[in-house]
Amino acid sequence: MSTGTDQDFNASSPLSSLSWGGDHLLMLDQRLLPEEIVFLKLYTAEEVWEGIHSMKVRGAPAIGIAAAYGVVLAARAYPGALPVEWLEVTRKACAYLATSRPTAVNLFWALDRMKEKAGQLANTASSIAALNEQLLAEADAIRAEDEEVCRRIGEHALPLIQDGMGILTHCNAGGLATAKYGTALAPMYLAHENGISFKVFADETRPVLQGARLTAFELQQAGIDVTLLADNMAAMVMSKGWVQAVIVGTDRIAANGDVANKIGTYGVAVLAKAHGIPFYVASPLSTIDLSTPTGQDIPIEERAAEEITEGFGKRTAPQGVKVFNPAFDVTPNEYVTAIITEKGIVQAPYDESLKDLFADND
Ligand SMILES: CSC[C@H]1O[C@H](OP(=O)(O)O)[C@H](O)[C@@H]1O
């Protein structure tokens, strides 16, 4: 396990995906990027559920943060004065928001934390208004902690980026997927701020095009050299010697180090291994799920056929054709060179090194 420096950095996504507006959650509609920048004011847990499910907000940490504020909105809507009823409202909101998407463990991690906090608060002799203020403070803390966690991931990963390197990434694990900085993109922002010269190759990441629409957008805005690739081009750029490292994010890491991430990541990992290129996964501890034994136990979301048959705004496949649209795949741990966390970089054997990360949390 390595230890990072205490550098700070300001660069990140040019836009914040989520912020609290006093009585609403302000959510950037990421489905409209990069052409349109539209912020939505959400006033109910139902609107937050829909924002997560339809991917207006996406990215494991951002999904967890949005859900936390969704619980706050539900609690604030309780009209009564009984803490026991208030607690029931918050618990129902947590269960409801947990149905919005199945794979990113940050959603359940954040909701479990909000549920635990609500349980603690309901046992105090506070007014409902005070309970709501303290529950909001917990959602704010989840957001603020994620920002610090991503910054630390950037610091620990910084030594992996040297002058002249080419780095390939898949999907979007940038500031838009988190509170700020991102996970996989955090070291890229920090390296750029430190004057390191490197190139990024961003897979467009079909079918929702998070790489083209979000990663290319974020990095271009930050002045980072980014080249957009169709997903079937990764092998060629690796064969040309243009890529010296792959850095991706993740939605859930199982206890054995298997990594669930955006569909297509597994293929990139196999290609990286075939070309002798290190494959790094940037992950907050909140995305590591020791209660899930292996990658085969991770629920993989399947999304609507239209994301594939009409993803570019026009039909590109025959009516009635069968479609398989898994939103994630699982990269077996043997393809993972190292996992970069806010506590440092860990390597195999992951069933031990991941457990050690949580040892001093007990
Ligand atoms: C920093 S988490 C980013 C992670 O989430 C993305 O999935 P989605 O856009 O469907 O929420 C993708 O797997 C990214 O690697």
Same domain, 223 and 292: yes
For ligand 1, say whether the CB of 139 is within 6 Å of any of its atoms.
Answer: no
Q: Is 170 in the pocket of ligand 1 (CB under 6 A)?
A: no
pLDDT band at 309, cuts 50/70/90?
very high
125 CA to centre of ligand 1 in angstroms: 40
Tell whether the model's pLDDT for residue 239 goes beyond 70.
Answer: yes
Residue where one domain finishes, among candidates 151, 183, 217:
151
For ligand 1, mutation pick of 250, 288, 301 (most atoms within 8 Å of CB): 250
- Single residue among 113, 131, 151 that ends a domain in this structure: 151
ipTM entry: 0.99
User: What pLDDT is recorded for position 11?
Assistant: 59
Do 340 and 263 share a structural domain? yes
Average pLDDT, the chain: 95
For residue 320, pLDDT over 70 is answered with yes
pLDDT recorded at residue 17: 95
Q: Give me the mean pLDDT over the 223-228 stretch.
A: 98
Q: Is 210 annotated as a binding residue?
A: yes
Question: Ligand 1, from 172, 246, 281: best to mutate by most atoms within 8 Å of Cβ?
Answer: 172
Cα 95 to middle of ligand 1, angstroms: 22
145 and 166 housed in the same domain: no
Q: Which of 146, 231, 251, 258 is flagged as catalytic?
A: 251
Q: Is 251 a catalytic residue?
A: yes
pLDDT given at position 9:
57
Of residues 74 and 125, which shows the higher confidence score?
A: 74
**Same domain assignment for residues 233 and 252:** yes
When pLDDT is averaged across residues 312-334 and rounded to a whole number, the result is 96
Mark whether 242 and 165 lie in a shared domain: yes
Residue 308: give its domain's CATH number: 3.40.50.10470
Report how many domains make up the chain: 2
Q: Do both 242 and 354 map to the same domain?
A: yes
Residues 253-266 pLDDT 10s: 999 999 999 999 99
| Same domain, residue pair 207 and 305 | yes
Tell me, using a 6 A CB cutoff, whether residue 295 lines ligand 1: no
Query: Does one domain contain both 163 and 311?
Result: yes
pLDDT at 313: 86
Task: Mark whether 10 and 62 lie in a shared domain.
Answer: yes
Tens digit of each residue's pLDDT (9 = 90 or more) over 276-293: 999 999 999 999 999 999
Residue 241 lies in domain: 154-359
84-127 pLDDT per residue, tens: 999 999 999 999 999 999 999 999 999 999 999 999 999 997 89
pLDDT > 70: percent of the chain: 95
Q: Global pTM?
A: 0.96
Side by side, the strands of the sheet bearing 25-28 are 18-20, 25-28, 39-42
Pairwise pLDDT comparison (316 vs 12), residue with the higher score: 316
In this structure, what CATH number is given to the domain that contains residue 79?
1.20.120.420
Work out the pLDDT band at 332, boundaries 50, 70, 90: very high
CA-nearest residue, atom 4 of ligand 1: 59
Q: Which of 91, 116, 151 is the last residue of a domain?
A: 151
The answer on 136 and 239 residing in a single domain is no
Q: Clarify whether residues 147 and 163 are in a common domain.
A: no
Tell me: do 199 and 270 sit in the same domain: yes
